[in-house]
């Protein structure tokens, strides 16, 4: 194991999985995940929080929790969230990524 600090202080992954077909289960990609991820990425940049040693917002394939979703996960903490709209994304950014506190109402 390395004693080096993580490249990013926080790494945020948005599940973007899309299941298709008439019998397909719920999927994050069909619940506005792309729009939410783009909003988060834009807001992180506007706040000057992007880049090495700061925050990285990424898309992810299936994280296997779509029934609880849409979902995102924040590392290194491993905190899982669901969200409904950009206000929820802003709350995660302001409270967790900036303020260092878990957003209990959105935690799964």
Examine the pLDDT at 1 and tell me if it is beyond 60: no
For residue range 40-84, what is the model confidence (pLDDT) as tens digits?
999 999 999 999 999 999 999 999 998 888 999 999 999 999 999
pLDDT of residue 34: 96
12 pairs with which residues across the strands? 57, 74
What is the average pLDDT across 8-28?
Answer: 86
- Confidence category of residue 108, pLDDT binned at 50, 70, 90: very high
The model's pTM? 0.91
How much is the mean pLDDT over the chain? 92
Cβ contacts of residue 10 below 8 Å, gap of 6+? 54, 55, 56, 74, 75, 76, 77, 96, 97
- Confidence category of residue 22, pLDDT binned at 50, 70, 90: low
Question: CA separation (Å) from 4 to 1, 51, 60?
Answer: 9, 17, 25
């Amino acid at each position: 194991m390395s004693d080096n600090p993580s490249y990013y202080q926080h790494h945020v992954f948005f599940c973007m999985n899309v299941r298709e077909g008439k019998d397909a289960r719920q999927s994050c990609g069909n619940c506005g995940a792309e729009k939410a991820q783009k909003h988060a990425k834009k807001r992180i940049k506007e706040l000057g929080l992007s880049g090495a040693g700061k925050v990285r917002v990424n898309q992810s394939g299936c994280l296997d929790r779509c029934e609880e979703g849409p979902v995102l996960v924040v590392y290194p903490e491993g905190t899982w969230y669901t969200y409904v709209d950009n206000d929820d994304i802003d709350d995660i950014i302001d409270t967790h990524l900036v303020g260092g506190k878990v957003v209990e109402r959105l935690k799964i």
